[in-house]
């Protein structure tokens, strides 16, 4: 990994809740100039996005990058398919895993690594409703515990002994 600064663009917080993340990957993105400008302005969304492998190439689908207002008629289509840059062996291995039932490739975040646009992908399996409820219950109990610890750590009023 290089020492280039990472500038986050957007995150897919829903993916961490809806899926059990098994493996993570970093892939480059093939973008047009107006897409890069729009991403640098932080105008991208990964809400319904997913990745697929078609004829030995990986693609990012349904990722929304807003049109760049200053691009005029040279603008891009907001939800077009974007090619992902992964190694051949990585694509082959992922293709085999994606053919198994229940696996999908979801994007977790988009960011710039130096001047390169990157997307963090995860090989994931969908959670069942029961697992989602357990996640919510665990998160609520952690919040309650943190609140109690915070309240306990706060010093009380100083009382004189008279």
Mean pLDDT of the chain: 87
Residue 156 lies in a domain: no
pLDDT tens-digit series, residues 87-122 = 999 999 999 988 888 889 999 999 999 889 999 999
Residue 43 lies in a domain: yes
pLDDT tens-digit series, residues 68-89 = 888 778 888 888 899 999 999 9
pLDDT tens-digit series, residues 32-77 = 888 999 999 888 999 889 999 999 999 999 999 988 888 778 888 8
Number of structural domains the chain divides into: 1
Which of the four pLDDT bands, split at 50, 70 and 90, describes residue 2?
low
Q: What is d(CA 137, CA 126) in angstroms, rounded to the nearest whole number? A: 18
Residues in a beta bridge with 144: none
CB 107 within 8 A of CB 60: yes
Residue 153 lies in a domain: no
Give the pLDDT of residue 139: 87
Residue 54 lies in a domain: yes
Global pTM value: 0.74
Provide the residue range defining the domain that includes 87. 6-127
Residues in a beta bridge with 80: none
Residue 145 lies in a domain: no
Dihedral over Cα of 67, 74, 28, 55: its sign: positive
CATH number of residue 96's parent domain: 2.40.280.10
Residue 103 lies in a domain: yes
Q: What is d(CA 81, CA 78) in angstroms, rounded to the nearest whole number? A: 9
């Amino acid at each position: 990994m290089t020492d280039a600064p990472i500038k986050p663009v957007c995150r897919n917080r829903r993916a961490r809740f809806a899926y059990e993340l098994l493996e993570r990957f970093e892939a480059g993105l093939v973008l047009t100039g107006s897409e890069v400008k729009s991403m640098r302005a932080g105008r991208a969304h990964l809400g319904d996005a997913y990745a697929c492998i078609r004829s030995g190439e990986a693609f990012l689908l349904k990722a929304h990058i807003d049109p760049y207002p200053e691009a005029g008629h040279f603008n891009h289509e907001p939800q077009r398919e974007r090619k992902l840059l992964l190694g051949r062996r990585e694509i082959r291995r992922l293709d085999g895993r994606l053919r198994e039932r229940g696996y999908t490739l979801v994007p977790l975040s988009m960011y710039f690594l130096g001047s390169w646009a990157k997307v963090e992908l995860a090989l994931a399996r969908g959670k069942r409703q029961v697992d989602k409820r357990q996640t919510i219950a665990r998160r609520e109990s952690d919040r309650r515990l943190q609140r109690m610890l915070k309240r306990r750590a706060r010093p009380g009023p100083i009382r004189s002994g008279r």
